[in-house]
Structure 1
Amino acid sequence: MSAATTRWTPSSWHDLPAQQLPEYPDADQLKQVLERIAAQPPLVFAGEARDLTEQLARVSRGEAFLLQGGDCAETFDAAGADITRDKLKVILQMAIVLTYGAQMPIVKVGRIAGQMAKPRSSPTEVVDGVEMPSYKGDAVNGLAPILENRIPDPTRLERMYHHSASTLNLVRAFTQGGFADLQRVHAWNQEFVAGSPQGQRYEQVAQEIDRALNFMRAIGLDIDRQPTFNTVDVFTSHEALLLDYEEAMTRQDSLTGDWYDCSAHMLWIGERTRQLDGAHMHFLSGVHNPIGCKVGPTMTPDELLEVCDLLNPDNVPGRLTLISRMGVDAIEEVLPPLLTATREGGRNVVWVCDPCHGNTITSESGYKTRRFDDVLGEIRGFFAAHTTAGTVPGGVHMELTGEDVTECLGGDQNIADLDLAQRYETACDPRLNNAQSLELAFQVAEMLRS
């Protein structure tokens, strides 16, 4: 039975092969946890997901640009107000730079309030001679390399729900309660970013925005009463890896009768779980959220068209986002035929560049890291490929943090191999820090202008 022919219900994915799912030792405990989660309120609402679909439809036509960013893997210990605020702050800064530089609306989507599970290349690892399950995110098991800590624990799913709810409450409070007010644009420039070359460039943009706001006041506009100037929409997203949890969070919309996965506004399928006959593709084909799918260098044009038809059979603009993650050395050769296939096939898709996952290396000192120049180079290749194919470069999908970490090499800070150990704090993959993220935003704004 294939994903395309299986009749869809929220639970029909159980009939199909599923990759990367945890093996819980106690099935009854898992069942009880999922029943409690299913009885909880939704984290997001169907109308909000439809709003995001409409905004992504504009992106697909080249009328807006998608900025999607956040942690590789959120942790239970890093879900407080300060960390959430700083993550939002750097996303807002990047959006201001992109909006001002490209004169284009920016659709803001965070990898936030649910990005707590990660696929791994191997189900186990050996630590100090002991084989144990690999860490798959705080929603599954613990990071500390202790055998008992690595056993998948279903109660962590319930913790993920409550942590996601509290994080989402903070996001709503910050974005709707005055923190995102354009009149606070200077306050978003954290001290350690303000001292960087990119922070100084940002201050110049902030001053220009101040002048524009003062002009509007001078001609009689009461910008304090205009929501456009003091609130902002930031949508949530995560990889839909843990299908038991996603099923428990799926609700039927009372207005339309359609099913929505109410764990996030947008869900995506990773490179390791995008099998056409697999459970992940089938599950996400049936919910009406906007959906993303990672597209790696092994994807063929014919397979890509099958992905489009499975996930977006009605060819709805804004429904499907294709997230290319090719690596800097492969993108200009591999991506254009895929772009041409969707264009010539008339598929309505948003094309987004993930320049992080294809450029992960191990440094001489043993840290998993990425070079800023490789990340930037893949984005340049992404834009060049779209120029070649005559298609729309729709956005960027970044692993980043609002903290002053040292996890990626290079950038204006010239982070070197020996610097990585200073503040290497990620639970899984390396993230661009706040200054590197802002530097990237200026570079992308210049690409959009040209």
Structure 2
Amino acid sequence: MTGPATSSLAADPPAAQQPDWPDRAALHAVAADLAARPALVSAAECDLLRSRLAEVACGAAVTLQGGDCAETFDGTTPERIESTYRTIRQMAAVVSGGAALPVVQLGRMAGQYAKPRSRPDETRDGVTLPAYRGDLVNGLEFTMSSRVPAPDRLRRGYERAAGTLEILRGLAAERGGAFFTAHEALVLEYERALTRDTPSGVYDLSAHLVWIGERTRQLDGAHLDFVAGVRNPVAVKLGPSSTPDDALALIDLLDPDREPGRLTFIARMGAGAVREVLPDLVAKVTASGARVVWVCDPMHGNTVTAPSGHKTRWLIDVLDEIKGFFEVHRSLGTHPGGVHLELSGEHVTECVGGTYEVLPAQVPDRYESACDPRLNRGQALDLAFELAELYAGRPTGGL
């Protein structure tokens, strides 16, 4: 990989979950435009995050990652950006107090504009259209004109990310402390266009950390091939079907030098599977000598349907998966590195439970997510206090 000039649009090796772009010439033009624009983050910032995550890998810090399931262009207002930032900062302060350790803060922000889908299309009332793949690709409105993948959305995504980062940098400067951004490296045309060859090496400078999801972590696939070639800290999500052999192969591919802070495993098992599946993964990885960061995503494995038909999550299930994650690490003498949450700084009603309880019947009241349900600010802070107790080794009160 050589940097901006490598914005090749050929998917070799094969790339899963890519849009069916109808206008390839327009796609090439947008990618070339983005390759010539300034990077969104710097290689030095990525290196700083890698050093902070190395502290997490060695048990000297924890990490808190949170933000929208899928950012929308219209939702990236200064007020919402600040509310999410403020919520993560407040959570970090609570968790740090319980853990007696610094907290590395990452926002699912300034780039989380694309989502993988289980089906390529969606049917409503007998009409079938392409599935919504996030604002980076197409629109949420259920019309053909909205759902056709549009290359110019990559440019709009870049511009929205740049604006979000400007606000985040201003907030971090006011309040002190580093704040990093992360997103799923899903749409490869976008990621490749923002890859730069720097004196320190090749980096994907669309974000400080990029992760590969459960649906795109094929060992012979284009997504892992891409992140293997960049110097950013990277992460991979591991679901309940993951095996120790999968994890060890990922380490060999993405972290051959066994560099603490380079690789994070985000376990997304579900409350019913975490205690069964995770122990063997952690034990075998630890025995290999690799120093990865272990993070719990307690959201994706705990999605259910509310009476209204909306996707939702019960806060008690989210907490149960986190408790299982801690139990596994405590039993093995390893470090529970942190959590990865879908949350909003707004008072949405997408998840059930909490001190200021959202009831199942209230889920539709403020359901604003473009994809999956998020914790609201109160629920996120509830979870932060539970995390503080878990890190302190005290019994949690439950939710």
TM-score range, shorter chain: over 0.9
Describe how 1:292-331 pairs up with structure 2 within 5 A.
Answer: 292-331=235-274
Aligned to 1:340: 283
Counterparts of residues 39-438 of structure 1 (less than 5 Å):
39-176=36-173, 178=174, 180=175, 231-254=176-199, 256=200, 258-438=201-381
Q: How far apart, CA to CA, are the structure 1 residues paired with 2:143 and 2:283?
A: 49
Contact 2:107 2:179 in 1 (8 A): yes
Extract unaligned runs of 5+ from structure 2: 1-5, 394-399
CA offset digits 1:373-404 (Å, max 9, x no partner): 00000000000011222211001000001000
Using structure 2 for the length normalisation, give the TM-score.
0.96
> What value does the CA root-mean-square deviation take over the aligned residues?
1.1
Task: State the alpha-carbon separation in 2 of the partners of residues 166 and 12 from structure 1.
Answer: 26
Q: Is the 8 A contact 1:13 1:283 kept in 2?
A: no
Distance 2:99 2:330 in 1: 17
Partner-residue secondary structure (3-state), 1:110 = strand
Deviation at 1:11, TM superposition (A): 4.6
Q: Deviations over 1:201-233 (max 9, x none)?
A: xxxxxxxxxxxxxxxxxxxxxxxxxxxxxx111
Q: Secondary structure at the match of 1:267?
A: strand
2:3 matched to which residue of 1?
none
Of the two, which has the highest radius of gyration? 1
What is the CA–CA distance in structure 2 between the aligned matches of 1:443 and 1:309, rounded to whole Å? 35
Q: Is the 8 A contact 2:9 2:189 kept in 1?
A: no
> Counterpart in 2 of 1:227?
none
Tell me which amino acid in the other structure corresponds to 2:338: G
Per-residue deviation at 1:99? Answer: 1.4
In the TM superposition, residue 416 of structure 1 has moved relative to its aligned partner by 1.2
Give distance in 2, aligned partners of 1:277 and 1:26.
Answer: 27
Gaps of 5+ in 1: 1-8, 181-230
Q: Is the 8 A contact 1:13 1:280 kept in 2?
A: no
Instruction: Give SS of 1:244's match.
Output: helix
CA distance in 1, matches of 2:16, 2:250: 17
Per the alignment, in what secondary structure is the counterpart of residue 126 of structure 1?
Answer: strand
User: Measured at CA, do residues 40 and 248 of structure 1 come closer, stay the same or move farther in structure 2, by a change above 3 Å?
Assistant: same
1:12: Cα distance to partner? 9.4
Q: Distance in 1 between matches of 2:332 and 2:14?
A: 35
- Give the secondary structure class of the aligned counterpart of 1:76: coil
- The answer for the alignment partner of 1:186 in structure 2 is none
Task: State the SS of the aligned residue for 2:182.
Answer: strand
What is the identity percentage for the equivalent residue pairs of Structure 1 and Structure 2? 52
Aligned residue identity for 1:127: R
Distance 1:420 1:361 in 2: 12
Cα deviation code 1:342-363 (max 9, x no counterpart): 1111111000000000101111
Q: For residues 87 and 379 of structure 1, what CA distance do their matches in structure 2 show?
A: 21
Q: TM-score, normalised by structure 1?
A: 0.85
Matched length: 388
